[in-house]
Chains A and B, each alone.
Chain A
Amino acid sequence: EAQVTQNPRYLITVTGKKLTVTCSQNMNHEYMSWYRQDPGLGLRQIYYSMNVEVTDKGDVPEGYKVSRKEKRNFPLILESPSPNQTSLYFCASRPRIPGDRVTGELFFGEGSRLTVL
């Protein structure tokens, strides 16, 4: 089954304790991205990657790091989490454009709800 898998789905942590949210996709997609969702703000892009070893900042990158060592994996790293990073996080992927899929919609993971105390 084609999917994007995120782990953990739920996490409660404390300020300053480093954590990593993993993301893996099995669709051979070149493009991967991380979003955070907050009430009233919709989804905002944190980081994205167009291919292996190619990453770039989105709209809200502060406090986050990413890496893309393999095509299928795109982990999100919070080196020193703070309460304002409490949010619902989504990993998403899509194929390169132009490509087989004309629309180029994002395929989303199920989300990771993070609480930082």
Chain B
Amino acid sequence: AQKITQTQPGMFVQEKEAVTLDCTYDTSDQSYGLFWYKQPSSGEMIFLIYQGSYDEQNATEGRYSLNFQKARKSANLVISASQLGDSAMYFCAMREGVDSSASKIIFGSGTRLSIRP
């Protein structure tokens, strides 16, 4: 069965430092997609970045990059030059079967990131 594990319930980081949020996944499928979402204190879910299992390069979106290590089944989110506005809950998620309309997305338990000024 597919599973997402985020082992860091909470993190504190100094402003302007880079931060890595850990995510490991478990799946027996060869085709899957990995996502990161941000949830600020206002509660909405904001899509940040996506990595397909067949993508050879790590995904990047502005200050966000996904450190994808397929053999280790990890998909860590790296935020460069952190800002106060990055303080939020971050969720890692996975969808098995990239090409399947029936595929559901499962979520990890989340990491609460706090940026110190």
A48 within 8 A of B: yes
Contacts A41-B109, A42-B91, A45-B106 given: A110-B35 contact, CB under 8 Å?
no
B68 within 8 A of A: no
Which A residue sits closest to B59, measured CB to CB?
A: A103
Complex Cα distance, B105 from A97, in Å, reads 13
Interface residues of B: mostly helix, strand, loop or mixed? loop
> Whole-angstrom distance from the CB of A28 to the nearest CB of chain B?
14
Contacts A45-B104, A58-B104, A97-B101 given: A108-B44 contact, CB under 8 Å?
yes
**B54-111 residues at the A interface, CB under 8 angstroms:** 91, 93, 95, 98-110
B109 and A97 form a contact (CB under 8 A): no
Instruction: Indicate the member of B43, B47, B93, B110 with the most A CB atoms within 10 Å.
Output: B43
A42 and B108 form a contact (CB under 8 A): yes
B91 contacts which chain A residues (CB < 8 A)?
42-43
Q: How many residues of B contact A (CB 8 A)?
A: 27
Q: How many residues of A contact B (CB 8 A)?
A: 30
Complex Cα distance, B103 from A33, in Å, reads 11
**B40-55 residues at the A interface, CB under 8 angstroms:** 43-45, 47, 50, 52
Complex Cα distance, B103 from A58, in Å, reads 11
Contacts A35-B107, A41-B109, A105-B47 aside, 10 further interface pairs with beta carbons under 8 A come to A42-B91, A42-B107, A42-B110, A43-B91, A45-B105, A58-B104, A90-B45, A96-B101, A107-B47, A108-B45
| A-B pairs with beta carbons under 8 Å apart, 25 shown | A30-B101, A33-B104, A35-B107, A40-B109, A42-B107, A43-B107, A44-B107, A45-B104, A45-B105, A45-B106, A50-B102, A92-B45, A96-B101, A97-B101, A97-B103, A98-B99, A102-B52, A104-B95, A104-B103, A105-B50, A106-B45, A106-B47, A106-B105, A111-B43, A111-B45
